[in-house]
Amino acid sequence: MNSTFSKLLLLAIISITLLSCKKEEPTPQPSELTAEEKAIEILTDKGSITWESANGGSVEKDGVNVSQLFEGFELNLKSGTSQNYTIKNGNDVFDQSGGWTFAGSNFDKCVLAGTRPACGKEISFTRTSNNLRLTFSIANPSARVNGTQVLAGTYIFNLIKKN
């Protein structure tokens, strides 16, 4: 009986020793987002966001408030298998829809596809919570908004995330 007890005791000691030496696997950390993925998340929350000039947004040209020319402005940006945009009340400054890309490896600038003056230009963007700021310059003075010629200048669109 002493022999059986000794064997069980030895087996218990070995088991405890093995269990206490077992290394725990490290908890996998979520993979870091690439700069491009972070930028897509800023613009679209990994899907689709509509940004608007209403409800506290504004539009400036060369430091002058021109929000009345873009009343009801909306920009919907989509990401996924294709990156598309639609715009409401972009007047003659923006196309109504098209694709968008980043400006090369600059993931703080995007380019809207289209033929209107703001399209094909680098548009800088920054997001703070539910606010998106777009900044770009138009060098072509031939664009018209509500029948009035739009002169070259720097535009700042301060947009609010639409609910």
Domain ranges of the chain: 35-161
Predicted local confidence at residue 152, as pLDDT = 81
At residue 10, the 3 state secondary structure works out as helix
CATH code for the domain defined by 35-161:
2.40.128
What is the CB-side half-sphere exposure of residue 14 using CA atoms within 13 A? Answer: 6
Task: Look at phi and psi of residue 67 and say left if phi exceeds 0, alpha if psi is from -120 to 50, else beta.
Answer: alpha
Contact yes or no for 84/114 (Cβ under 8 A) = no
Supply the pTM of this predicted model: 0.76
The distance from CA 123 to its chain's CA centroid, rounded to whole angstroms, is 13
Encode pLDDT of 66-115 as tens digits.
999 999 999 999 998 899 999 999 988 999 999 999 998 889 999 999 99
